[in-house]
Amino acid sequence: MRFTENLLSGTLIKRYKRFFVDVKINDQIITAHCPNSGSMLGLLDKNNKIWISKSNNPKRKLKYTLEIIKVKDSLVGVNTIFANKIVHEGLRNKSISEFSDFENIKPEAMYDKGTRFDFLLEKNDRKIYLEVKNVTLSIKEDIAEFPDAITSRGTKHLFKLLEAKKSGYESYILYLIQRENCNNFKITDKIDIDYKKAFLEVKKKGVKILCYNCKLNPQEIKINEPVKILQL
């Protein structure tokens, strides 16, 4: 997924009210939109290098959006909206080996009245619901973790995937690590116990778990390769 415009680089000052960040660009302080509702734990140290995009939409209150933060030596993609776009591109490009045979890809697929899954993949008699989760948290070196905040919505999606499996679909969840410095993945131990319990239950009952990391630069973010899922 390529950015449509050149990103502007600067430094982080602070995040506040969840969806606002102040950044410094060429000695000018700019308030930008933060497109991430999670805690962003470990990403928000003052003076971290950042990249923002600029919108030409005159109706937007905030012209700028935070896209990437540099944490130590790793770039981290923080725009959660892009996770589905990155995976969709990976599905079309056959970069996700588990789904390389699928041509019929439907984004935002309706499951029931109150639930949409990120993708429905179809080939002959096979029908797969795929849900994508964006991952930015890394507490220990080389290990990415999810979630970084309590996510009742995420827990609901796990049980809906299990429900779909019982109805005859194949069900997958793909954790997309928008950072390059993690080759392992786990469900975090303490942030959301209910999510961890749900994850273990649905995994045991047949919901398939995948995890891929990304390659990032200020011009492009693309899916890279599968990473090891640590045993819980």
Q: Are residues 66 and 126 in the same domain?
A: no
Among residues 77, 104, 132, which one ends one of the domains?
77
Per DSSP bridges, beta strands 115-123 and 104-112 are: antiparallel
Query: Which tokens go with 2?
Result: 């390529």
Question: Is residue 21 in some structural domain?
Answer: yes
Other beta carbons within 10 Å of 185: 23
Q: Are residues 96 and 199 in the same domain?
A: yes
Would you say residue 232 has pLDDT above 70? no
Query: Which tens digit of pLDDT belongs to each residue from 149-197?
Result: 999 999 999 999 999 999 999 999 999 999 989 999 999 988 999 999 9
Residue % of the chain over a pLDDT of 70 = 100
Would you say residue 231 has pLDDT above 90? no
Number of domains present in the structure of the chain: 2
Q: Are residues 55 and 124 in the same domain?
A: no
Question: Is residue 3 in some structural domain?
Answer: no
Q: Which of 204, 106, 191 is nearest to 161 (CA)?
A: 204
Among residues 33, 55, 77, which one ends one of the domains?
77
SS (H, E, C) 175-226: EEECECCEEEEEECCCCCHHHHHHHHHHHHCCCEEEEEEEEEECCEEEEEEE
The overall average pLDDT reported for the chain is 96
Q: Are residues 72 and 95 in the same domain?
A: no
- In CATH, what number is assigned to the domain containing residue 13? 2.40.50.580
* Distance between CA atoms of residues 220 and 54, nearest Å: 15
The arithmetic mean of pLDDT across residues 140-145, rounded, is 96
Q: What is the pLDDT of residue 190?
A: 87
Q: Are residues 136 and 215 in the same domain?
A: yes
Q: Are residues 154 and 186 in the same domain?
A: yes
Query: Which tens digit of pLDDT belongs to each residue from 51-107?
Result: 999 999 999 999 999 999 999 889 999 999 999 999 999 999 999 999 999 999 999
Boundaries of domain holding 100? 82-229
Query: Which tokens go with 185?
Result: 């993945």
User: Which pTM was predicted?
Assistant: 0.95
